Structure 1
Amino acid sequence: MTTGRVRIMLFCKVPDRGSESEVEEAYHLISKSLAGTPGLLGNELLRSLIEDGAFAVMSEWESFDAFHHWDEGPAHKDQTAPLRPYQDPARPRPWEMYTVQAAY
């Protein structure tokens, strides 16, 4: 069991006929719907400086339990649906979970 803060990374890629603004719009839509979610400390949309059309969404949660409670809840699938078409298909899974092991 992890204790402390947890960060979730969702990796996204703009489709060949898409635009970066589509990913940005979906991110903002989701972020507005997640405002006030218990345990969610915040999130950021990160754009790659190396790969065109590549993004990551990093969300920070106060604990794994808080994230898991939201993830298993009824609102999760609908709230995150706008970014689903942009999940990076080149990755074995489009997301990763990290616990904060050390910080300065």
Structure 2
Amino acid sequence: MKGRARVIIYLTVPEAGPAAIEDAYHDISGRLADTPGLLRNELLRSAMDSTGFAVLSEWESMADFKAWEEGAGHRSSTSPLRPFQDRAGERHYGIYEVVAAY
């Protein structure tokens, strides 16, 4: 588990409602199903704010994530969620490397 990477994208519900986020998430997940190094991803809804969502992805390594992120298909495959990114805070995403786990 040490050395794996986790990426969190923060989202906010549009006026149309949460179904738009859920649909975009399922669309993207289908496109990324065979991405090298991608172990899994999850759509999370905030238990503290019903308008807050996040996508958490787990990667085999930081190198795998960076290779995908720098690849040609990154922007086009993730574009359906881009309009819902929560840009109200300091950062609308986070990239973390696992340094310890039990």
**Unaligned 5+ runs, structure 2:** none
Query: Take 1:87 and 1:99, find their aligned partners in 2: how far apart are those partners?
Result: 22
Amino acid at match of 1:97: I
Q: How far is the alpha carbon of 1:70 from its aligned partner?
A: 0.4
Query: Take 2:63 and 2:89, find their aligned partners in 1: how far apart are those partners?
Result: 26
Residues matched between the structures, number: 101
Identity %: 50
> Where does 1:14-33 land on structure 2 (aligned, <5 Å)?
14-15=13-14, 17-33=15-31
- Secondary structure at the counterpart of residue 58 of structure 1: strand
Query: Take 2:96 and 2:30, find their aligned partners in 1: how far apart are those partners?
Result: 23
Structure 1 residue corresponding to 2:101, chosen from 94, 100, 103: 103
TM-score of the pair, normalised by structure 1:
0.93
Structure 2 residue corresponding to 1:68, chosen from 60, 66, 69: 66
Query: Take 1:59 and 1:88, find their aligned partners in 2: how far apart are those partners?
Result: 17
**Unaligned 5+ runs, structure 1:** none
Q: Which residue of 2 aligns with 1:55?
A: 53
Q: Give the ranges of 4+ consecutive aligned residues of structure 1 lying more than 6 Å apart after TM superposition.
A: none
TM-score of the pair, normalised by structure 2:
0.95
Q: How far is the alpha carbon of 1:60 from its aligned partner?
A: 0.3
Superposition RMSD in Å: 1.0
Greater mean deviation of Cα atoms: 3-12 or 74-83: 3-12
